[in-house]
């Protein structure tokens, strides 16, 4: 599956809003990245992070044939914020040692979100922030009936 991946920016720009700030969205540039066979999108293949720019958006367009709710299984490293049609619907942390003293911060389908989709086009944007190590995200919707997914 292909995703769109934005240019990097500072995670702090997302800390106060429940919507995607237009000042951030307007400055982004985008590239297409193909997920690995496992479904993981390895962001570090095309983006380099820094102290001042440790976050990217990944995005997909989900076209729904009717209003419906679909479960999205999600994995990421280190932190993620999920937006559907511009509204924040989830925020989570899966960084090193965040779950317990043995957790290495690996990307796995540890989280799930129920997406409230409208009929027609829906924008799924996932902000992924990284401190150190791998930088990635993966998402899957097992029941894709009535959906068309495109980058």
The CATH number that applies at residue 112 is: 2.60.120
pLDDT of residue 107: 62
Domain that holds residue 146: 2-150
Instruction: Look at residue 99 in the predicted model and tell me its pLDDT.
Output: 59
Please give the Cα distance from 36 to 23 (Å, whole number).
31
* Cα gap 59→139, rounded to integer Å: 11
Residue 135: per-residue pLDDT? 86
The domain tally of the chain equals: 1
Q: What is the pLDDT of residue 89?
A: 97
pLDDT < 70: residue spans in the chain: 94-108, 133
Q: What is the pLDDT of residues 66-107, one digit of tens each?
A: 999 999 999 998 899 999 999 999 998 766 555 555 555 566
pLDDT of amino acid 128: 95
DSSP state of 13: G
Cβ 117 vs Cβ 68: under 8 Å: yes
**Six-digit token pair at 38?**
């496992």
Most distant CA atoms of the chain, gap in Å:
44
Query: Structure pTM?
Result: 0.91
Q: Which two tokens stand for residue 60?
A: 């997909």
Residue 16 has a pLDDT of 81
């Amino acid at each position: 599956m292909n995703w769109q991946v934005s240019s990097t920016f500072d995670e702090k720009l997302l800390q106060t809003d429940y919507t995607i700030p237009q000042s951030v969205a307007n400055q982004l540039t985008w590239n297409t990245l193909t997920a690995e066979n496992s479904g993981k999108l390895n962001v570090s293949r095309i983006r380099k992070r820094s102290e001042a720019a440790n976050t990217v958006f990944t995005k997909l367009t989900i076209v729904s044939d009717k209003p419906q709710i679909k479960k999205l299984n999600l994995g990421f490293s280190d932190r993620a914020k999920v937006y559907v049609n511009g509204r924040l619907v989830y925020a989570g942390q899966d960084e090193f040692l965040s779950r317990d003293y043995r957790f290495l911060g690996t990307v796995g389908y540890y989280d799930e979100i129920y997406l409230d989709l409208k009929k027609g086009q829906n924008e799924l944007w996932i902000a992924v922030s990284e401190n150190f190590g791998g930088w990635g995200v993966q998402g899957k919707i097992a029941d894709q009936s009535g959906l068309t997914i495109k980058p």
